[in-house]
């Protein structure tokens, strides 16, 4: 039961974009087309899940026994950077179309705060292995969901009459604000 | 001097380039936090720009990004440990966002775009300019949010927690507490960014006419 609560809270209530603002760059950058939004979501899910498990293992099996916990940030970011490189090579070979549409945002997953945040959170919240798995699946799922909703709304925005200065990112942020209001209504769920 | 001002208005990393949004939105609930975060980022940015610029001839091109990120991570960890030791109130208020300076696109972006191609002096100036632009953006947004959400402008001494400055503008019955929540952050940012768009467009139009 507790794991279900953790999952729902990670996906909806503590939605990573709308309550913690992590992953804003791809949120604004890749949410113009549905197909790239889904692709980005899947890539981020894979990176977060893989790197979280790796960093979790590294932290408890290497850093803690050696008593060098203060090296956590350095270790985590290196693991994440290597993982993203791996995903990039994989996509380039197997799905060149998706690789092209993600463009600059693919290598930037390294600097997507969400990835490092989940890795940090797993340690600082003292999650056990099962909780880590649930949390590292729930957070990117929430990310993907928000990204897809945003892509759908932005598709409609294209035909809307928007004041000149608000075109582009400002209107996307207003939409995000409205989404944040809607999502805060789900706060009583858990 | 012109290059110095560039980072603050024309190429403001936050409002014009849309970099470092996560921390900008999250940390701007009060001026105190905004100031603390701004100072941290300026320190990290200047040091990372200086180190990367000094090492630019010995870093192999293919692995430059991992090298940059390791340098930045080491600096951020130093910054976090110093804060934890000397100003614990700021450290606990900002929490995980300090560690996340590592993935602040501004720091890596300037390393890649400027410090890896320019001399040490110019890189330090660029770091200071971009850092000030970022701090300016943080302060602007946190000021708007704090006034609307609490009706007052307050500043505390981070060492002792004593109030330095507290100016009540309107009574608390008329405040909109929503501006302290994520929704308010998105709204404030959207409006300020739109104002900036109008402003910078006007400037470039004027330059075009000349």
Q: Where are the domains of chain A?
A: 2-184
pLDDT of residue A96 exceeding 50, the answer is: yes
| CB nearest to A177's CB, from B22, B187, B194 | B187
Q: A25 vs B18: CB contact, 8 Å cut-off?
A: yes
pLDDT in tens, B152-169: 777 776 666 667 677 777
Q: What's the structural domain count of chain B? A: 1
As a whole number of angstroms, the distance between CA B123 and CA B111 comes to 9
Q: A113 vs B25: CB contact, 8 Å cut-off?
A: no
As a whole number of angstroms, the distance between CA A150 and CA A101 comes to 17
Please tell me the predicted confidence (pLDDT) of residue A121. 85
pTM metric for this prediction: 0.82
pLDDT of residue B200 exceeding 80, the answer is: no
| CB nearest to A173's CB, from B65, B99, B190 | B190
- Which of left, alpha, beta for A67 (phi over 0: left; psi -120 to 50: alpha)? left
Residue predicted with more confidence, B179 or A152: A152
Instruction: Give B1's pLDDT tier (boundaries 50, 70, 90).
Output: low
Please tell me the predicted confidence (pLDDT) of residue B210. 41
Q: B99 vs A181: CB contact, 8 Å cut-off?
A: no
Please give the average per-residue pLDDT across A170-186, as a whole number. 85
Enclosing domain of residue B176: 2-209
Please tell me the predicted confidence (pLDDT) of residue A74. 85
pLDDT of residue B85 exceeding 80, the answer is: yes
Percent pLDDT > 90 in chain B is: 4
Select from B9, B190, B24 the least CA-distant residue to A169.
Answer: B190
Q: How distant is the Cα of A3 from the closest Cα of chain B, in angstroms?
A: 23
Helix H, strand E, coil C: the string for B44-57 is HHHHHHHHHHHCCC
What average pLDDT does chain B have?
Answer: 80
Count how many pairs of residues, chain A against chain B, have C-beta atoms within 8 Å.
112
Contact B25, A18 (CB under 8 A): no
Angle between helices A34-58 and A72-94 (to 10 degrees): 140
Please give the average per-residue pLDDT across A92-112, as a whole number. 76
Other CB atoms within 10 A of residue A20 CB: 22
pLDDT of residue B46 exceeding 60, the answer is: yes
Residue predicted with more confidence, B163 or B35: B35
As a whole number of angstroms, the distance between CA B154 and CA B140 comes to 14
Please give the average per-residue pLDDT across B46-67, as a whole number. 85
Residues in chain B within 8 Å Cβ distance of A28: 18, 21
As a whole number of angstroms, the distance between CA B71 and CA B52 comes to 8
Task: Write the CB contacts of B82 (distance below 8 Å, at least 6 apart in sequence).
Answer: none
Residues 12-71 of B with CB under 8 A from A: 18-19, 21-23, 25-26, 65-66, 69-70
Residue predicted with more confidence, B187 or A189: B187
Task: Give the H or E element holding residue B163.
Answer: strand B163-168
Three-class SS of residue B60?
Answer: coil
Please give the average per-residue pLDDT across B113-130, as a whole number. 86
Contact B140, B25 (CB under 8 A): no
The answer to whether residue B170 neighbours chain A at the CB level (below 8 Å) is no
Q: B103 vs A165: CB contact, 8 Å cut-off?
A: no
Please give the average per-residue pLDDT across A103-126, as a whole number. 79
Rg (CA), chain A: 17
As a whole number of angstroms, the distance between CA B43 and CA B62 comes to 27
Please tell me the predicted confidence (pLDDT) of residue A80. 86
Task: Write the CB contacts of A38 (distance below 8 Å, at least 6 apart in sequence).
Answer: A144, A148
The answer to whether residue A165 neighbours chain B at the CB level (below 8 Å) is yes
Contact A18, A180 (CB under 8 A): yes
Q: A170 vs B100: CB contact, 8 Å cut-off?
A: no
Please give the average per-residue pLDDT across B164-185, as a whole number. 76
Residues in chain B within 8 Å Cβ distance of A19: 182
Please give the average per-residue pLDDT across B175-183, as a whole number. 79
Among A13, A69, A70, A111, most B C-beta atoms within 10 A, so best to mutate, is A111
Which residue of chain B comes nearest to A16, CA vs CA? B22
Query: Residue B153: beta bridge partners?
Result: B167
Percent pLDDT > 70 in chain A is: 96
């Amino acid at each position: 039961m507790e794991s279900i609560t953790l999952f729902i809270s990670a996906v909806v209530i503590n939605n990573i974009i709308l309550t913690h603002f992590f992953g804003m760059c791809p949120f604004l950058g890749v949410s113009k087309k549905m197909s790239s939004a889904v692709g980005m979501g899947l890539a981020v899910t894979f990176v977060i899940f893989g790197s979280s498990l790796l960093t979790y293992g590294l932290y408890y099996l290497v850093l803690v026994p050696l008593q060098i916990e203060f090296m956590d940030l350095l270790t985590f970011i290196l693991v994440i950077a290597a993982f993203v490189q791996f995903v990039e090579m994989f996509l380039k070979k197997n799905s060149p179309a998706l690789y092209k549409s993600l463009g600059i945002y693919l290598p930037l997953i390294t600097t997507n705060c969400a990835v490092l945040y989940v890795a940090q959170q797993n340690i600082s919240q003292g999650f056990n292995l099962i909780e880590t798995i649930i949390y590292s699946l729930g957070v990117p799922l929430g990310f993907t969901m928000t990204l897809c909703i945003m892509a759908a709304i932005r598709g409609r925005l294209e035909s809307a009459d928007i004041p000149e200065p608000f075109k582009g990112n400002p209107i996307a942020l207003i939409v995000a604000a409205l989404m944040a209001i809607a999502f805060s209504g789900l706060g009583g769920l858990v | 001097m012109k290059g110095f001002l560039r980072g603050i208005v024309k190429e403001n990393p936050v409002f014009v380039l849309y970099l470092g949004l996560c921390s900008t939105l999250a940390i701007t609930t009060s001026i105190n936090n905004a100031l603390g975060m701004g100072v941290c980022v300026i320190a990290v940015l200047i040091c990372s720009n200086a180190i990367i610029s000094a090492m630019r001839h010995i870093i192999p091109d293919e692995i430059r990004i991992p090298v940059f990120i390791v340098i930045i991570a080491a600096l951020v960890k130093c910054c976090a440990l110093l804060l934890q030791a000397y100003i614990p109130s700021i450290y606990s208020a900002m929490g995980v966002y300090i560690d996340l300076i590592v993935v602040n696109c501004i720091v890596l972006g300037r390393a890649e775009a400027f410090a890896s191609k320019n001399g040490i002096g110019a890189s330090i100036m660029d770091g200071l300019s971009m850092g000030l632009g970022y701090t300016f953006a943080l302060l602007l947004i946190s000021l708007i949010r704090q006034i609307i959400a609490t009706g007052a402008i307050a500043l505390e001494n981070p060492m002792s927690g004593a109030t330095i400055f507290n100016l009540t503008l309107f009574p608390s019955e008329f405040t909109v507490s929503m501006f302290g929540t994520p929704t308010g952050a998105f709204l404030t940012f959207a409006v300020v960014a739109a104002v900036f768009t109008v402003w910078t467009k006007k400037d470039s139009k004027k330059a075009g006419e000349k």
